Amino acid sequence: MSEPDFVVIDVETACQRTSSICQIGIVGYRDGVETFAYESLVDPLDDFSPFNTRIHGIAAHHVTGQPTFAMLHEIVAGHLGNRITVAHSSFDKGALGRACTLHMLPPIAARWLDSVGVARRAWPDLPNHKLGTLARHLGLEHRHHDALSDARAAGQVVLQAMAVTGLTLAEWFTPPPRRKRTVAPQQQISSFS
Per-residue pLDDT tens over the stretch 36-70: 999 999 999 999 999 999 999 999 999 999 999 99
Assign 177 a pLDDT band (cuts: 50, 70, 90): confident
Taking residue 169's Cβ as centre, other Cβ atoms within 10 Å add up to: 16
38 contacts: CB under 8 Å, gap ≥ 6: 24, 25, 26, 27, 75, 79
The CATH number that applies at residue 76 is 3.30.420.10
Q: Is residue 191 part of a domain?
A: no
Q: Is residue 183 part of a domain?
A: no
> Would you state the pLDDT for residue 15?
98
Give the domain extent around 84. 6-173
> In this model, does residue 191 exceed pLDDT 80?
no
Count: domains in the chain? 1
> Would you state the pLDDT for residue 193?
40
Q: Is residue 100 part of a domain?
A: yes
Q: What is the mean pLDDT of residues 66-91?
A: 97
Q: Is residue 48 part of a domain?
A: yes
Q: Is residue 125 part of a domain?
A: yes
Beta-bridged to residue 116, according to DSSP, are none
> Mean pLDDT in the chain?
93
Q: Is residue 57 part of a domain?
A: yes
Q: Is residue 188 part of a domain?
A: no
> What one-character-per-residue DSSP string does the chain give?
-PPPSEEEEEEEESSSSTT-EEEEEEEEEETTEEEEEEEEE-B-SSPPPHHHHHHH---GGGSTTPPBHHHHHHHHHHHHTTSEEEESSSHHHHHHHHHHHHTT-PPPP-EEEEHHHHHHHH-TTSS---HHHHHHHHT----TT-HHHHHHHHHHHHHHHHHHH---TGGGGSPPPPPPPPPPPPPPPP---
Q: Does this model's pTM top 0.85? A: yes
Cα separation, 119 vs 138, whole angstroms: 11
